[in-house]
Structure 1
Amino acid sequence: MLGTDPVKKEKPVEVKRTVKKIAIIGPANSGKSVVFNKLSGSYSIVANYSQTTIEFVRKECKIADARYEIWDTPGLASFITSSQDESDTRDALLKTPPDIILFVGDATRMKRSLTLFAQVMELGIPTVFILNKTDAAQKRGTLINAIKLSARLRVPVVEAVATHGIGFDKMSTAIKTTDTEKSPVRYPEFIEESLAEIQNALLEDDTKKLSKTAAVLYLSGDKNILKWCLAKFGEDACHTADEAVLHFHRKSPAANVKQVIFNARSVWADNTAEASMATATLTAPRIAQTAAWASRHPIWGWPIVIAIMWTTFYGVGTLAARMAGFLDTWFFFPVTDFISSLIGVPLLNDFFVGDFGIITMGIMNALGTVVPILTVFFLIVNFLEDVGYLPNLSVMANRIFSYFGLTGKAVLSMSLGFGCNTMATMTSRMLETKKERIIASFLIALGVPCAVQLGVMLAILASAPFSAILFVVGTVVITQMVCGVLLNKMLKSDKASDFIMELPAFKLPNFKNIVKKTYFRVKWFLKEALPLFVLGAMLMFTLEKTGLLTTIEALASPVITGILSLPDKATEVFILVLSRRELGAVYFKNMFDAGEVDYYQVVVGLTVMTLFIPCASNTMAMLKELGLKVTAYINLSIIAIAISVGGALNILVRLF
């Protein structure tokens, strides 16, 4: 109507949909990643040893007609932690708590699971107890009454065999019905009073108190929690909480807070396990027991190591080489010849299928050379992971590693380095002291070749005289040992680390899981490295066509052709190594296949390439874990060591 204001249409208000967060928490090797994989439909690496998961993995998915964000978390032993990875997990749970917790308990290790569960309940978050590995417990003669256990824990208990998909229907129902319950553990009264005073001092608002978990850590003097509380609640509130702590110590000067709390949790866990379990005496299969014993024996363990090394050497050097040759003959060579015939412009022809072509040097090297090597290598490694070999290897190596200032626990990080140096450096956070983390990261960067580099090296050495293997492996191992001993003497630590390692029972390998892990690891490589192979080819093409490659070779000549006695073309190898070690390794293999390097140059080249500066991604991981200063020292030291050792080896090998 005229004379009236037009009706204003209001914009619809957008309601932001909040997705509840579910954290999967539990002891190491309890099956958390299997539960995560089944619920989320994605894949997180699963293996028969602890510390497989080293960082939070998040995935949004649908469970029982509702959307959730699920977190796969590293394994925990206790909230009073000693290692960096456990501390990071605990702090993340306290600072950004999830809405629901799925606690994955190990039915074969109930006391350990219940002791950790008591701490999880103190977070004050709705929790479901997933009683996993019930089949393995029954085989050992342990029967657990889930109804009795649920009554004592006051939370839903779901019996599960996650590897076979058993229990997930009930899990979905339990997630919807679970609610917040008080912690089932009651500490001595003088501890409870002090915890209440700390909680009352550190209020988030009028209704929400600090979690009991955080209060326990505050009373225990945990530095990370004290710093977090100061930033969150302010000086006045923390001063009041500190007064409560001082009052506690004045009233109970002889009390060891951590010990008293541990004892209370331990007694509760014992009583709960005893009330809900029935056991019969059964022994593990003798073959599994004998195999596990032999694999960690100080004498019999070494023949097993040698057998594994020979199998890997033969598999990668022979089987993978045949696969690569088949692909080249029947696919890649015909394809490149066909593409070359279509492109009449010389520059474009070189760009696609020349010596530094994105197809010949980039795609063909990644798919035709690396993928067969990586497939065979990961099949072997994943088999060893699945049967539970690696933790037993760490026991055998513990005595040797003590000379380097490390414990056998570092074997897991070092062995993971043969898959990916970056991942191995990140797992070093599970080591207890900064000294250990620095030494482990240094040794990984110095002389542990990643899967692709190692596979390419084995493929080269399989066609070289046996003495070449002795020179390369011997030089790298001796260099590692000398550097490890020197670092142990140079670096000081406030405390010595104890070696406590869970030894999972040997089990028959799950070949479906082995193949699946191999697929995902090869897929991860292609996703991350294939673009870099193409970029590396483009870089070398540009350097060659602009004449910069000739200039760089001239500048590097005193080191490359002088000290190391390598051909000028080897400069291109080390340019590629700076971005990704496997790029340089594959290019060096091409030189070897073309007969461009002799026996001495193969020995020196492979040794220096192994000891050379870590790739860019590993350097970034060291920056994150160790800081700029330490990373710079490590990289500069490694360059000097690689050139010095390579020069000395060049002289030595020519004497024989």
Structure 2
Amino acid sequence: MSCHNPAAKIDIPKEAKKIVLAGNPNVGKSVFFNYLTGLYVDVSNFPGTTIDISSGKLNKDVVMDTPGVYGVSSFNDEEKVARDIILYADIILNVVDAVHLERDLFLTQQIIDMGKPVVVALNMMDDVQRNGLKIDIELLSKKLGVEIIPTTAIKNEGLDKIKDALYRAKPGNRIEEVKEIIDKIINKVDTESEALLLAEEDENIIDRHNIKDFNGQREYIYKLRRYRVDEIVDSTVFEVNQNASFKTKLSRMMLKPLTGIPILFVTLYIMYQAIGVFMAQTVVGITEEVIMGKYYYNFIMNILGSLLKDSSLIGQLLIGEFGLITMVPIYILGLLLPLVVGFYFFLSILEDSGYLPRIAALVDRALTSLGLNGRAIIPMILGFGCVTMATITTRLLGSKREKFIATMLLGLAIPCSAQLGVIMGLIAPLGLKALIIYCLTIFIVFVLTGTLLNKLMPGESSDLLIDIPPLRLPRLSNVLKKTYVKSIMFLKEATPLFIIGGLLITVLQYTGLLDSIASGLSPFTVGFLKLPPEVSQAFIMGIVRRDFGAAGLNDLASQGLLSGPQLITSLVAITLFVPCIAAIMVIFKERSWQESVLIYVGSFIISFLTAGILAQIIM
């Protein structure tokens, strides 16, 4: 074993072969380990970590188990331990989940690319039939170049063939381009296995061998491996409906455009009816107008109304139109909280049921034309809850290019749940035609902006790599817990901002600056957008927080100052408006200041330009 290898500290007899079990999490490796080693098992702490390693004997050889990992790398302690043991193994038993070959074979091909002698245990074969699948094992073995043993470990099926197969283990079919890369850098390290990880920019291997100024090709190699695995799975795994369960058939329907898109539209319609109609109108009508707007407001005014003058600055700050004791709790608890709870409740159902990753797979091709991949649907959906939080989740995207495009689209065309609730409450009484005009306008802007950014920005979209879990009925306890935690997080994030926003707008209003700014915008608002001059104040409030702007429009609509077409135009403008203070702060944190300024200014221009064009058409 190499002197660089920390695994050398584990006590292994000199003549013994090192047989290593490797595989993804939850593929049943422990059953294979127990079968091979029997009762003679040692558990030791791996040097420098808190990870325990099990080892035992098979004849005169040593069998070692490794933590479940998705790849041999250095991203966490489990992967580091698995890497150090796999690197210096003599024989590898790779256990894979037969139902999820597109996921598990990524690790298999990586181990094969290392040049290791491998035997593959194709486990959970009983689930293959239940999931309506058929695997051509002979062709799969030929393509990988290694022996494959079908097993169902928990039933002891196929385990008896594993012991003999281990000593017939041989290196498999490497990816030719990867082999060429390894040959060019093999002189920098001790083994071909280390050369592969060096090419994949493994920091630990670079440090071990004190390599300076090395440029690896990790993304290129990962793409080659992904394409190779996809090609193998496409040619060896087939879907059959015979004996497939209802959940399997439904899962397939969700992933096919012909059936998946209607299912998605039905799901979104149900969410609209539940959140946009029931929560935004019925529930909010009770919580905002009755509980908070009537009982709470009258209670506060009876106590403080006689003590504070409405015309004083203190009176305005505390119990005025944007008062800290009046407007802030009424909007936070009466208007926003029911909408946020409703949104997170449905989002938690989508997550817990396994439908959310299926949506990502379904829309992957469509989002690729916008410079993104299906994974971007996750921050997009989260954006309907809170754009600030969704902006943070753009970290899961593969490149700076994708992160910028996603952040721009989030800041521009995705209304948060608080804003969306007010918008739905305003637009629902106008009828289906108004809803179609509004949604179509936002959708066109979303698609055009994404398409232009995809064409203008250098580079290309990364491929979608996502695990599709089994469909299952959501557990109510999980759904309620997620809803509670995320709603509390929203309240903690939103309340200080509402306080700051209320203070700022009250000061602007008290000093007359709000009227001055609104007057300055009036010629543009009245002339180009064909809206009343009072709408300028709502736009200014939207800078502080988008739902402030929507709430301002709500007040104007309740006073009868906006016609139907004017309301649609102003709602389009406020939806496409600049991100709120919280979101823009996060955007400046996540992106460079140049990108952040471009997103902010670009949103401003696109918002009013779109609303102006729409005004010319419908008025």
**TM-score calculated relative to the size of structure 2:** 0.65
The percent of aligned pairs where both chains have the same amino acid is 28
* Cα 1:322–1:258 shift into 2, 3 Å: closer
Aligned match of 1:403 = 369
Aligned match of 1:35 = none
2:431 pairs with 1:468: no
Displacement of 1:352 in angstroms is: 2.5
* 1:340–1:349 Cα contact (<8 Å) kept: no
Distance 2:316 2:69 in 1: 54
* Cα 1:140–1:653 shift into 2, 3 Å: closer
Aligned match of 1:561 = 526
Identify the range of structure 1 (541-550 vs 479-488) with the bigger mean alpha-carbon deviation. 479-488
Aligned match of 1:446 = 412
Displacement of 1:552 in angstroms is: 1.5
- Which of 285, 300, 303 is residue 245 of structure 2 equivalent to? 285
* Cα 1:369–1:198 shift into 2, 3 Å: same
* 2:277–2:424 Cα contact (<8 Å) kept: no
Counterpart of 1:357 in 2: which secondary structure?
Answer: coil
2:273 pairs with 1:314: yes
* Cα 1:91–1:449 shift into 2, 3 Å: farther
Aligned match of 2:600 = 635
Distance 2:182 2:170 in 1: 11
Displacement of 1:396 in angstroms is: 3.4
Displacement of 1:418 in angstroms is: 1.8
1:319-340, Cα deviation, whole Å (9 max, x unpaired): 2122222224145422221221
Aligned match of 2:357 = 391
Counterpart of 1:359 in 2: which secondary structure?
Answer: coil
2:404 pairs with 1:430: no
- Which of 463, 468, 472 is residue 503 of structure 1 equivalent to? 468
What pairs up with 1:170-569 in 2 under 5 angstroms? 216-218=196-198, 220=199, 222=200, 238=212, 283-286=243-246, 288-320=247-279, 321-328=281-288, 329-343=290-304, 344-346=307-309, 347=312, 348-493=314-459, 497-569=462-534
1:44-77, Cα deviation, whole Å (9 max, x unpaired): xxxxxxxxxxxxxxxxxxx9xxxxxxxxxxx985
Letter of the 1:444 partner, please give it: L
Displacement of 1:297 in angstroms is: 3.1
Distance 1:106 1:515 in 2: 31
Displacement of 1:370 in angstroms is: 0.8
* 2:383–2:416 Cα contact (<8 Å) kept: yes
Aligned match of 2:576 = 611
Distance 1:110 1:403 in 2: 28
- Which of 578, 582, 591 is residue 556 of structure 2 equivalent to? 591
Displacement of 1:540 in angstroms is: 1.3
Q: Which has the higher contact order (CA 8 A, sep 6+)?
A: 1
Displacement of 1:212 in angstroms is: 11
Displacement of 1:473 in angstroms is: 0.7
Displacement of 1:632 in angstroms is: 2.1
Displacement of 1:197 in angstroms is: 7.3
Displacement of 1:595 in angstroms is: 3.4
Aligned match of 2:36 = none
* Cα 1:486–1:119 shift into 2, 3 Å: closer
Distance 2:558 2:583 in 1: 29
The 4+ residue runs of structure 1 with deviation greater than 6 A are 26-30, 96-101, 105-108, 117-120, 133-142, 146-150, 184-197, 211-215
Displacement of 1:369 in angstroms is: 0.5
Distance 1:609 1:486 in 2: 22
Distance 2:386 2:603 in 1: 18
Distance 1:611 1:483 in 2: 12
Displacement of 1:466 in angstroms is: 2.2
Displacement of 1:449 in angstroms is: 1.3
* Cα 1:134–1:569 shift into 2, 3 Å: farther
Letter of the 1:380 partner, please give it: F
* 1:565–1:650 Cα contact (<8 Å) kept: yes
Identify the range of structure 1 (523-532 vs 586-595) with the bigger mean alpha-carbon deviation. 586-595
Letter of the 1:314 partner, please give it: Q
Aligned match of 1:575 = 540
Counterpart of 2:268 in 1: which secondary structure?
Answer: helix
Distance 2:412 2:170 in 1: 48
Aligned match of 2:139 = none
Letter of the 2:475 partner, please give it: N
Displacement of 1:284 in angstroms is: 4.7
Letter of the 1:345 partner, please give it: L
1:147-196, Cα deviation, whole Å (9 max, x unpaired): 9999xxxxxxxxxxxxxxxxxxxxxxxxxxxxxxxxx9999999999999
Displacement of 1:113 in angstroms is: 5.5
* 1:315–1:377 Cα contact (<8 Å) kept: no
Distance 2:272 2:403 in 1: 30
* Cα 1:479–1:139 shift into 2, 3 Å: same
Distance 1:391 1:29 in 2: 19
Distance 2:502 2:81 in 1: 45
Distance 2:366 2:572 in 1: 23
Displacement of 1:618 in angstroms is: 3.1
* Cα 1:546–1:92 shift into 2, 3 Å: farther
* Cα 1:589–1:500 shift into 2, 3 Å: same
Aligned match of 1:82 = none
* Cα 1:296–1:546 shift into 2, 3 Å: same
Identify the range of structure 1 (341-350 vs 603-612) with the bigger mean alpha-carbon deviation. 341-350
Q: Which runs of no fewer than 5 residues in structure 2 stay unpaired?
A: 1-22, 28-50, 52-67, 85-95, 112-123, 133-150, 160-168, 234-240
What is the root-mean-square deviation of aligned Cα atoms in Å? 5.1
Aligned match of 1:34 = none
Distance 1:507 1:349 in 2: 54
Counterpart of 1:561 in 2: which secondary structure?
Answer: helix
Letter of the 1:536 partner, please give it: G
Distance 2:461 2:261 in 1: 27
Distance 1:28 1:507 in 2: 19
* Cα 1:552–1:371 shift into 2, 3 Å: same
1:498-551, Cα deviation, whole Å (9 max, x unpaired): 445443332212222112211112111101001211221111111111222122
Aligned match of 1:129 = none
Count how many residue pairs are aligned between Structure 1 and Structure 2.
497
* Cα 1:583–1:197 shift into 2, 3 Å: farther
1:427-468, Cα deviation, whole Å (9 max, x unpaired): 334333443333222222221112222222222222223222
Letter of the 2:212 partner, please give it: C
Distance 1:351 1:604 in 2: 31
* Cα 1:503–1:416 shift into 2, 3 Å: same
Letter of the 2:197 partner, please give it: L
* Cα 1:515–1:595 shift into 2, 3 Å: farther
Letter of the 1:520 partner, please give it: V
* Cα 1:586–1:97 shift into 2, 3 Å: farther
Q: Which runs of no fewer than 5 residues in structure 1 stay unpaired?
A: 1-25, 31-62, 64-74, 80-89, 121-132, 151-183, 201-210, 246-256, 271-280
* 2:254–2:358 Cα contact (<8 Å) kept: yes
* Cα 1:411–1:318 shift into 2, 3 Å: closer
* Cα 1:146–1:612 shift into 2, 3 Å: farther
* Cα 1:330–1:641 shift into 2, 3 Å: closer
* Cα 1:29–1:595 shift into 2, 3 Å: farther
Aligned match of 2:616 = 651
Distance 1:610 1:640 in 2: 13
* 1:229–1:238 Cα contact (<8 Å) kept: no
